[in-house]
Amino acid sequence: MLKMLIRNATYFDGKNIVKGDMRHGDSGEEFDAAGKFVFPAFNNGHTHLAMTLMRGAGDGEKLQDWLDNTIFPMEQRLTPDLVYKGSMLGLIEMIRTGTSRFLDMYYFVEETAKAVEKAGLRATLGTPITSFGTPYYKDAKDALRIAERQLKSMRAGRVGYCVSPHSIYLNDEETLIKARELADKYHVWLSLHVSETRKECVDCHERTGKWPVEYLDGIGLLGENTVLIHAAWLTKMEIRLIAENGSSVIHCPVSNMKLASGGVMPLHELLDAGVTVGLGTDGASSNNSLDMREEMKIGSLLQKSHRWDATAANARTMFRMATLGSTDFAFIRLDDVRMLPHHDLISNLVYSGGAVTDLIVDGRLIMKGGEILTFDEEQAKKDFEEASLELIK
């Protein structure tokens, strides 16, 4: 089968920057990458895509006030149409910043799936299962039923599903265990928020006598398909449990800092223990962007500052975390002012960035020369603006 030919590429082969032609995907198309740096497109390990609708709302409030007064009331007014339009805007931002794949947790999953199919990106989507009802489902049982319906409908392709109990504080033990069983039955990821705040940790400890990850291990939630999101407050015992179970962790440094979680995911302790660590933006309401270039830079700076160590979280480490499992390509002009000079292109990409000009996903050009090819960007933005106004009515 013919593969897509990317000619005249300057790319990172995992060790060095090299030049030459690359084969990719099975479309048979050709793309001239002369004068451009080609890198694996980003994999955003955690987001709530349609929360673009809430970007900036209630900004600067304390976490609980922000959730209670702004986010939860807005989410009670969500509709499938709003989620679709919010997702489309999020996808524009992802395409324009070089992300081709993401792990999502949000309501009305079918709408986000439709948007991802249209945009041509890849996603693994999960319904945030909570014990309380939402406009999407009545209760946790209903949410699990919806999640199973999605899993049953799953076909090979760019859009897949996972099981996403929200957290230990919004789910009872029975639901968490059922979520685990569901993820195992369909061989998919089990993703959940954990140890994001000190309060979550001490509440869990008071209730169960265990720290959150220790608790999850005790009820059999940790496995090779478990993706722990945030993990901002971890003890070394919990790090060991994550490693022993082969679970993965997604670091969301910008969101943790913006919401003043206070904790800092122990990146080097986790990596030293052999844990796979990815990078995520979290939703656009707590970041407030979906830009993985910013996430790499700020994540690196956070670790260096936190540990008083300039060697911590170096550019290549952050780059690897941001592109885990990537099979797609993004392009930045080599003469972009923020990519000059060329002493270290990975360092430039992580710390100074540059405008993404092209994106190839699954052997297909999604953006070429700054123009999105798969849908009408201006119309999607117009639809989004109307949707965001509808949400604050």
Site of interaction with other proteins (CB under 8 A): 198-199, 201-202, 205-206, 233-236, 238-239, 262-266, 268-270, 306-308
> What would the two tokens of residue 165 be?
């109990």
Beta bridge partners of 279: 251
Least Cβ distance, residue 118 to other proteins (angstroms): 41
Tell me whether residue 198 or residue 381 sits nearer to other proteins (CB atom): 198
Place of tokens 């079918």: 110
**Under DSSP, is residue 18 helix (H, G, I), strand (E, B) or coil?**
strand
d(CA 53, CA 285): 8
Following DSSP, what letter does each residue of 150-188 receive, concatenated?
Answer: HHHH--SSSEEE-BEE--SSSS-HHHHHHHHHHHHHHT-
Residue 30, phi-psi category: left (phi > 0), alpha (psi -120 to 50), beta (remainder):
beta
Least Cβ distance, residue 218 to other proteins (angstroms): 17
Tell me whether residue 29 or residue 269 sits nearer to other proteins (CB atom): 269
> What would the two tokens of residue 64 be?
């609980």
Least Cβ distance, residue 269 to other proteins (angstroms): 4
Least Cβ distance, residue 170 to other proteins (angstroms): 19
Least Cβ distance, residue 205 to other proteins (angstroms): 5
Tell me whether residue 141 or residue 205 sits nearer to other proteins (CB atom): 205
d(CA 311, CA 227): 27
| CA distances for 256 relative to 38, 297, 344, angstroms | 30, 14, 29
d(CA 298, CA 321): 13
Tell me whether residue 19 or residue 62 sits nearer to other proteins (CB atom): 62
DSSP, res 311: T
Tell me whether residue 265 or residue 380 sits nearer to other proteins (CB atom): 265
d(CA 110, CA 104): 12
Least Cβ distance, residue 136 to other proteins (angstroms): 32
Least Cβ distance, residue 190 to other proteins (angstroms): 22
Tell me whether residue 32 or residue 309 sits nearer to other proteins (CB atom): 309
d(CA 387, CA 393): 10
Tell me whether residue 143 or residue 249 sits nearer to other proteins (CB atom): 249
